[in-house]
Structure 1
């Protein structure tokens, strides 16, 4: 009997805060149509540019909000991740925020980065980009839900920041050379959203990787 095709999807989840990216990332990493049926839990890599790995303090700097003096550190980190994806091309990778978030944040300080070189390396690996968005009127209710669990609630005081960033990310996604799904998350369950992404990956032949 011929074995089924190997599932090794590669998905970048982008979006401003309060759009449920991380919950969706975990759901996709356990979705039977995305990573296959599982009888037990095992290692599945989740990568995030939001990790604050450049400073030795909580909510410090990292791959998104680095300072000019840390530019080469950030770019080397991106090159390292790209190489890791290339070396482990037949495995699934779920990325919770990546280069679009970096571009949006840095552009507000007048620093513009061209990540065309990165997308040129991600495209042959069959990466897809999911942009999570929500109706601006629903940010207040999303904020209330987040405050119940947040360790840094002050970051949600000004919701207009997220509305502006959402539009910045939309503009960046429109220029991306990767396949893009704009995913409306307002008042939809994580399970429903994961199903939508699974359908999109299947319809666009993004669940596996053909041998060269």
Structure 2
């Protein structure tokens, strides 16, 4: 089994919890008798600047633009080289496009990226919630957040969610929009597993060399 899933969505949409649940879901990665390393990567890794919550693959600035695009080329080449393994990605090119536009910068055309992801069997799960459910989700997150100020303006998340839906509507990849409000990570993972199975995305469609 080698599913490849990109989880997209604004903050407070349970993406990371879902990522961990998928990486241990027997219908997604197979039964496990013991825990071992699982490939889970994130476009939110803030590795471009030497500070906490620094710039990432999503919100890079002019100085990091070349590095960000090279990172995308590197990741997709890794996926191609390791095509018979499962990959779970927590935010990727949808979020980069939306974030760069919000920052008033050039939004790159990632058609080339999707053209390489598509034959590998990648799918996108767009995690969403009703606008009215964001305040309650914020209250839950504030109990554990190390950077609570980022949740002050919920309108930012609602606008970003609308923009992500627009990007998703143009994608070449299969997209599942997943309503996360009031649902556990396990229940959400079950729905993703159903989607992957129904679209024949759990196993490679070709034979290894």
TM-score interval for Structure 1 and Structure 2 normalised by the shorter chain? over 0.9
1:150 equivalent in alignment to 2:145: yes
Q: 1:127 aligns with which of 119, 122, 129?
A: 122
Q: Are 1:76 and 2:70 matched, yes or no?
A: yes
| Mapped partners of 1:159, 1:107: distance in 2 | 18
Query: What are the residue-to-residue correspondences of 1:29-178 with 2, within 5 Å?
Result: 29-108=23-102, 109-178=104-173
- 1:6-62: per-residue Cα shift (whole Å, max 9, x none)? x00000000000000000000000000000001110111101000000011000001
Give the Cα–Cα distance (whole angstroms) in 1 for the partners of residues 206 and 99 of structure 2: 37
1: distance between equivalents of 2:95 and 2:145? 20
Report the Cα offset of residue 94 of structure 1. 0.1
Shift of 1:110: 3.6
Measured in 1, the distance between the counterparts of 2:64 and 2:6 equals 23
Looking at structure 2, the residues matched to 114 and 179 of structure 1 have their Cα atoms a distance apart, in angstroms, of 18
Distance 2:107 2:75 in 1: 20
Alpha-carbon distance in structure 2 between the residues aligned to 1:111 and 1:105 = 10
The runs of at least 4 consecutive aligned structure 1 residues that moved more than 4 Å come to: none
Quote the Cα distance in structure 1 between the aligned partners of 2:63 and 2:184.
Answer: 41
How many pairs does the alignment contain? 206
User: How large is the Cα RMSD of the aligned pairs?
Assistant: 0.7
Q: TM-score, normalised by structure 2?
A: 0.97
1:75-127 CA-to-partner distances (Å, cap 9, x unmatched) read 00000000000000000000000000000000121412100000000001000
Paired with 2:129 and 2:56, the residues of 1 have a C-alpha distance of 25
Q: Matched residue of 2:11: which SS? A: coil
Please, which runs of 5 or more residues in structure 1 have no aligned partner?
1-6
Query: 1:189, CA displacement in angstroms?
Result: 1.0
